[in-house]
Amino acid sequence: MGCYCTGKKKSANYGEKGQVYKQKKPTMYPPWSSTFDAHIHRGRIMHVMVKDRTAELKSEATVALDSLATRCKKENGKLEIWVSIVCVCLHSHSKSEREREGLFALHQRRGAIKQAKIHVVKCHEFSATFFPQPTFCSVCKEFVWGLNKQGYQCRQCNAAIHKKCIDKVIAKCTGSAINSKETMIHKERFKIDMPHRFRVYNYKSPTFCEHCGTLLWGLARQGLKCEECSMNVHHKCQKKVANLCGINQKLMAEALATIESKQQVRKTNRLFMHRCLSRPVYAMFRKTVSDDLMMELEPLYAVPKKDHHPKFTIDDFILHKMLGKGSFGKVFLAELKKSGQFFAVKALKKDVVLMDDDVECTMVERRVLSLAWENPFLTHLYCTFQTKENLFFVMEYLNGGDLMFHIQSCHKFDSHRATFYAAEIICGLQFLHSKGIIYRDLKLDNVLLDSEGHIKIADFGMCKENMQDESRTSTFCGTPDYIAPEILLGQKYNSSVDWWSFGVLLYEMLIGQSPFHGRDEEELFQSIRTDNPVYPRWLTKDAKDILVKLFVREPEERLGVKGNIRQHKFFSNTDWDALEQRQVPAPFKPTITSPSDCSNFDKEFINEKPRLSCADRTLISSVDQTMFRNFSFVNPGMNRIAAR
């Protein structure tokens, strides 16, 4: 800072105004760490000031020399006094700087983000889209009706369709670079190539483009009309229209589907006959029973067994408290009326699930939760059921709260506690990876504690299945602070992204703040791609080493992907066999007064009245309920609880 010291000797004078100090000798400017002599007289003081280069006063002190000498004479004059001058810098922060510093502390929850789901059909890249103006389907030529995201639109050629018509698209995307490259080297067995003959046309009444579905604007020469099939399109859409002149896509798709289904039936019949002919019993019946009777008997082989599992409804539960809330729906503390046992019930709104095109994500979450019973560090699912408006997950109630709630009260965890949580999280993550599942949303908010203080990973809505061996995916998703650099760079990735997120979580547990910072998402993502985290001096050598290896930006070189993370020195005192059996006592046990205690959850949610959100009836009536036909599920453990 370039500070310097000034010393002024002043002596006391007594006059009409009382005691007054006057400086009789020049001001001294002694160098730092130097010494000087001063005569001691009664009433003499030493005034010491510290100033910066601009002569601005930073600190000052006044010492009475005679009293200092008196203290030195005590204890036979052996008392030694050292005066250390501490330089204190005071800065006035602007509002923007204070807001930026606020991002460093872990004082708020952070929501996950996910790129819109892309449906690739015939090289089209369809995504759910909200149409702000009346739009018509390019397949069936009917109005795309509904609220929110009513249909799909191709990101390449802008073709608009109903969600129900996505299976009826028969032409390849003309705006796709993939398509144009492939068509030069490959010819399909079934191909339609009937070019349109477009001419500029003046429309005298409101007309809609039959490609993108929107209105043809203007007073004259608004668009183009095909001379052969009378198709109307925008000028901008002409080059994106497929060569399907005179072809009705809807009827053609239905005809092709009929042919395909008949071929499938024939294949199934041949396969069935092949299996049955290998049975001696079938061969014996074949000799004595007519062909017509055999055709009636054959379906009996495929009769499914009746499901005797009891079905649950929301009326079987009493909703006591709301534990959390988001755009997806709500999480409640619920009591099963029959047994009095408490559960966490997650209620998703069907209209929101459909609007965000998250039906498959919801089904993935149900399947992953069903697998969770095989591992003690994953949240267990008891059953799922649905109503016309909602989807319900009935899960075990973890009344210890999440790690975000606990770290807000203590700023950071001690090394022993952080190591324990990290080890149990590793067990849960490695189990998911062994099943070919990438978690993709590891964060403090999604790690909960049970009544004994052991962790449970929750919320599997971001999971990706079937990721064994060399499989890769490219969906942009996750919570911004935890997203791995390969996701930000648009690269295909595997389970390596979970180990990066694990590194961020471990850093937050040990240090109490996020490793990467930014005033907005753009700055944050830039920091993740380029910056190196700051490691405090007090951090242990092993803790710093594991964090450095987890923050390697080359996915294949990252700890967890390369090397056995369990053998790292950071976990040298961890008994992994005992840990996996939950035989290691937790270093922290949450305060719980009863099975229904919810004191470890945010008060802003608990104080709200527990009630299901009402959906728009018009929208719900238009929901295709068959999309959720395989959602309901009952775990055998729930049957035992209900039978008590």
The amino acid at residue 237 is C
Question: What is the number of residues in the chain?
Answer: 644
The amino acid at residue 464 is K
Return binding residues for ATP.
323-331, 346
Question: Residue 604: how many CB atoms within 10 A of its CB?
Answer: 10
The single residue of 357, 402, 441, 498 carrying the catalytic annotation is: 441
Predicted confidence at residue 88, as pLDDT, reads 53
CATH number of the domain bearing residue 335: 3.30.200.20
Residues 486 and 628 in one domain: no
CATH number of the domain bearing residue 199: 3.30.60.20
Tell me the three-class secondary structure of 121-186, residue by residue. Answer: ECCEEEEEECCCCCCECCCCCCECCCCCCCEEEECCCCCEEECCCHHHCCCCCCCCHHHHHHHHHC
Predicted confidence at residue 112, as pLDDT, reads 64
The CA distance from 543 to 15, in Å, is 68
Contact by Cβ (8 Å): 146, 619: yes
Q: How far is CA 395 from CA 307, 346, 409, in A?
A: 22, 8, 26
Residues 177 and 285 in one domain: no
Instruction: Name, in order, each residue with C-beta under 8 angstroms of 144's C-beta and a sequence gap of 6 or more.
Output: 131, 135, 136, 137, 150, 151, 160, 161, 162, 213
The amino acid at residue 279 is R
Query: What are the residues facing 146 on neighbouring strands?
Result: none
Predicted confidence at residue 268, as pLDDT, reads 61
What DSSP designation does 582 have? T
Q: What are phi and psi of 91, to 5 degrees?
A: -120, 140
Burial of 534 (0-12, 13-18, 19+ CB in 10 A): exposed
Q: How far is CA 27 from CA 5, 10, 255, in A?
A: 10, 10, 103
The CA distance from 94 to 101, in Å, is 11
Asked whether the CA dihedral 244, 247, 250, 255 is positive or negative, the reply is negative
Question: Residue 289: how many CB atoms within 10 A of its CB?
Answer: 13
Asked if residue 306 belongs to a domain, the reply is no
Contact by Cβ (8 Å): 443, 480: no
Asked if residue 446 belongs to a domain, the reply is yes
Which parts of the chain sit beneath pLDDT 70? 1-10, 12-20, 32-33, 53-55, 71-116, 145-150, 176-191, 263-310, 327, 615-616, 618-619, 622, 642-644
Asked if residue 608 belongs to a domain, the reply is no
Residues 281 and 234 in one domain: no
Asked whether the CA dihedral 207, 211, 217, 222 is positive or negative, the reply is negative
Instruction: Name, in order, each residue with C-beta under 8 angstroms of 236's C-beta and a sequence gap of 6 or more.
Output: none
Asked if residue 569 belongs to a domain, the reply is yes
Query: What are the residues facing 232 on neighbouring strands?
Result: 225
CATH number of the domain bearing residue 45: 2.60.40.150
Residues 413 and 561 in one domain: yes
Among 77, 97, 123, the domain boundary falls at 77
Asked if residue 517 belongs to a domain, the reply is yes
Residues 548 and 470 in one domain: yes
Residues 473 and 372 in one domain: no
Asked if residue 118 belongs to a domain, the reply is yes
Predicted confidence at residue 271, as pLDDT, reads 58
Strand segments, DSSP code E, in 419-561 are 447-449, 455-457, 477-478
Predicted confidence at residue 619, as pLDDT, reads 67
State the greatest distance between any 2 C-alpha atoms of the chain, in Å, as a whole number.
Answer: 140
The CA distance from 358 to 461, in Å, is 9
Distance between terminal CA atoms of the chain?
A: 74
CATH number of the domain bearing residue 521: 1.10.510.10
Residues 495 and 436 in one domain: yes
Known active-site residue 315:
no
Among 591, 610, 634, the domain boundary falls at 591
Asked if residue 601 belongs to a domain, the reply is no
Asked whether the CA dihedral 248, 252, 253, 254 is positive or negative, the reply is positive
Residues 208 and 259 in one domain: no
Q: How many domains does the chain have?
A: 5
Residues 369 and 488 in one domain: no
Return binding residues.
323-331, 346
The CA distance from 6 to 59, in Å, is 11
Contact by Cβ (8 Å): 171, 243: yes
Asked if residue 605 belongs to a domain, the reply is no
Residues 428 and 561 in one domain: yes
Residues 409 and 511 in one domain: yes
Q: How far is CA 454 from CA 28, 59, 420, 584, in A?
A: 65, 51, 9, 9
Tell me the three-class secondary structure of 234-268, residue by residue. Answer: CCCCHHHCCCECCCCHHHHHHHHHHHHHHHHHHHH
The CA distance from 564 to 228, in Å, is 67
- Domain hosting 413: range is 401-591
Residues 360 and 279 in one domain: no
